[in-house]
Amino acid sequence: MSNYAQHEHHDFLGASAQALADPTLQQALVRLTDTLLAGNRKGYAALADSSELRDHAKRIKEHTLAHLDQYLVQLEASVQRLGGKVHWAATADEARKIVVEIAQKANCKHAVKSKSMTSEEIHLNPALEAAGVEVTETDFGEFIIQVAGERPSHLVAPAVHHTRESVARVLSKHLGQQLADDPKSLAMTGRRVLREKFRQADLGITGANFAIAETGTVVLVTNEGNGRLTTTCPRVHVAIMGIEKVIPRFTDLPVFLKLLARGATGQTLSVYTTIITGPRQAGEYDGAEEFHLVLLDNGRSKVLATPFRESLQCIRCGACLNACPVYRRIGGHAYGGVYSGPIGSILTPLYDSVEENPHLPHASSLCGACQSACPVKINIPHMLIGLRELQHEREPNRWERWAYGLWSAVLQRPWAYRWALWAARVFLKRRATNGWIAQMPGPGAEWTKIRDFPAPAAQSFRDRWKELE
């Protein structure tokens, strides 16, 4: 097991310090996020009016969430009309049981999986393996981290923390043969191993980027084609999706397809868009004989009734991760949950618990880069502040309350303000050398642990103002 799997999910500070001290990870993060962020900007710029299109996508999501009950029932009816089965899972536990039961009933022994954050969320693989089903991740990045015993560290690039050398090491150990660290030959090895797994598989598991209520269609967007093989080779296909992934009409789909790839990587369209409408019908040449759709709630309907509803508009493109100055330094594992970066800092506390993830709402400079990059313009900073408020309401910090009370009292009294400024200047000047303070006392020590604090200017603003007047 690698370093990245060792931290408990709430040890945000420990895992962040570990990530910051890892030069290889730092290099990999800068390389990936720079490339993807540049792609995101180029992708939006290539559209005639990207802002209007993003607003349009947002309106579709807002409308769908406002009528989510109706659209989910419509989706269920559409899937059933085609001969598919729909399963409702209120919790992760229920979802795991449903999938295990489907596998057992159909006597499946070998499952292939296309990348699915929802299946990561419900920890599906260990449950299937405990039931005697071998599971193979077929997205190459996911395959690498499965073999390494790790968790994904990015929504669209799960093995971003690996280098080609570490990939060669991991795969060599797994396959029992020495592989060269050449990307092309590693990819060909992956292809050979995975093709054999597709050939053996009797169960295909996928997520769903979108599900269309009107037609019962599930849409998968991939760059490797593994989604297509996962849904066409095995005789049983199970798609697991969060209930927020439904969209009303087929005509809404192009709006999101135009934005998803551009937001994620800057591509005009992802390489494969797989559109599945029910199980194989008479006269069709491929497709699964059985099709199951698992609709997962797992805390989502609870979020729907709160001021954090907007977080359910997320289409999991990963753009906010690439833009975030915090994610760009600490990577995905530091966040602990399945979802990392700015959107993970909202989803993990909401789906899991605010109390268990106290650092996440603060893992942001609130600069707004995430919202600018987001294809549906989710106001992430606003929700992070909302979570901080919630924390404060549930567990008020006595020291913070005292400090703000004092600050407010000082601001209301000009004489006290003048005196406080004078005292602070005298105090700080005494500690300064060459214009910088190397060590601050009290809470300020956290700042000077990693950087110096500037000494006060020779003349205060108020004095200078008086002079100018």
Tell me if 317 contacts ligand SF4 by CB under 6 A.
Answer: yes
Radius of gyration of the chain (CA): 25
Tell me if 318 contacts ligand SF4 by CB under 6 A.
Answer: yes
Contact pattern from residue 255 through residue 274 relative to ligand SF4, giving x for each residue in contact according to CB under 6 A and a dash for the rest: --------x-----------
Contacting residues for 80 by C-beta, under 8 A, at least 6 apart: 86, 216
Quickly tell me which residue has 């015993």 as its tokens.
Answer: 149
Tell me if 343 contacts ligand SF4 by CB under 6 A.
Answer: yes
- Tell the smallest beta-carbon distance from residue 70 to ligand SF4 (Å): 23
Q: Which of 115, 197, 258, 316 binds ligand SF4 (CB under 6 A)?
A: 316
Q: Which of 15, 375, 383, 387 binds ligand SF4 (CB under 6 A)?
A: 375
Tell me if 320 contacts ligand SF4 by CB under 6 A.
Answer: yes
Tell me if 315 contacts ligand SF4 by CB under 6 A.
Answer: yes
Tell me if 319 contacts ligand SF4 by CB under 6 A.
Answer: yes
Q: What DSSP element (H or E) covers 119?
A: helix 117-121
Select from 6-14, 157-165, 172-180, 316-324 the region that touches ligand SF4 (CB under 6 A).
Answer: 316-324
Contact pattern from residue 345 through residue 374 relative to ligand SF4, giving x for each residue in contact according to CB under 6 A and a dash for the rest: ----------------------------xx
156: tokens are: 């669209």
Contacting residues for 465 by C-beta, under 8 A, at least 6 apart: none
- Tell the smallest beta-carbon distance from residue 311 to ligand SF4 (Å): 8
Select from 7-15, 185-193, 315-323, 435-443 the region that touches ligand SF4 (CB under 6 A).
Answer: 315-323
Q: How many residues bind ligand SF4 (CB under 6 A)?
A: 15
Neighbours of 9 (CB within 10 A): 16
What is the distance, to the nearest Å, from the Cα of residue 61 to the centroid of all Cα atoms in its chain?
18
What 3-state DSSP class applies to 337?
A: coil
Select from 19-27, 118-126, 296-304, 375-383 the region that touches ligand SF4 (CB under 6 A).
Answer: 375-383
- Tell the smallest beta-carbon distance from residue 444 to ligand SF4 (Å): 34
Select from 62-70, 71-79, 84-92, 310-318 the region that touches ligand SF4 (CB under 6 A).
Answer: 310-318
What does residue 292 show for φ and ψ, rounded to 5 degrees? -120, 135
- Region of residue 298 (left: phi > 0; alpha: psi -120 to 50; beta: else): left
Using CB under 6 A, which residues numbered 71 to 100 contact ligand SF4?
Answer: none
DSSP class per residue in 356-387:
T-TTGGGS----SHHHHH-TT---HHHHHHHH
Distance in angstroms (rounded) separating the CA atoms of residues 47 and 49:
5
- Tell the smallest beta-carbon distance from residue 37 to ligand SF4 (Å): 11
Tell me if 314 contacts ligand SF4 by CB under 6 A.
Answer: yes
- Tell the smallest beta-carbon distance from residue 62 to ligand SF4 (Å): 14
Determine the straight-line distance between the first and last CA of the chain, rounded to whole angstroms: 67
- Tell the smallest beta-carbon distance from residue 54 to ligand SF4 (Å): 10
Tell me if 160 contacts ligand SF4 by CB under 6 A.
Answer: no
315: tokens are: 């289409």
Angle value at C-alpha 340, between 337 and 341, nearest 5 degrees: 150
- Tell the smallest beta-carbon distance from residue 313 to ligand SF4 (Å): 7
Q: Which is nearer to ligand SF4, 200 or 379 (CB)?
A: 379
- Tell the smallest beta-carbon distance from residue 380 to ligand SF4 (Å): 6
342: tokens are: 């700015």
Q: Which is nearer to ligand SF4, 25 or 317 (CB)?
A: 317
Helices (H), 247-355: 253-264, 300-304, 319-323, 327-330, 341-351
- Tell the smallest beta-carbon distance from residue 372 to ligand SF4 (Å): 9
Residue 454, strand partner residues: 436
- Tell the smallest beta-carbon distance from residue 309 to ligand SF4 (Å): 13
What 3-state DSSP class applies to 428?
A: helix
Tell me if 53 contacts ligand SF4 by CB under 6 A.
Answer: no
Q: Which is nearer to ligand SF4, 279 or 344 (CB)?
A: 344
Q: Which is nearer to ligand SF4, 100 or 312 (CB)?
A: 312
Tell me if 376 contacts ligand SF4 by CB under 6 A.
Answer: yes
Judge contact between 198 and 229, C-beta under 8 A: yes
Tell me which amino acid residue 435 is. G
Using CB under 6 A, which residues numbered 405 to 434 contact ligand SF4?
Answer: none
What does residue 301 show for φ and ψ, rounded to 5 degrees? -65, -25
Strand order in the sheet with 110-113: 85-89, 290-296, 236-242, 203-206, 110-113, 134-137
Interacting residues toward ligand SF4 by CB under 6 A:
155, 263, 314-320, 343, 373-376, 378
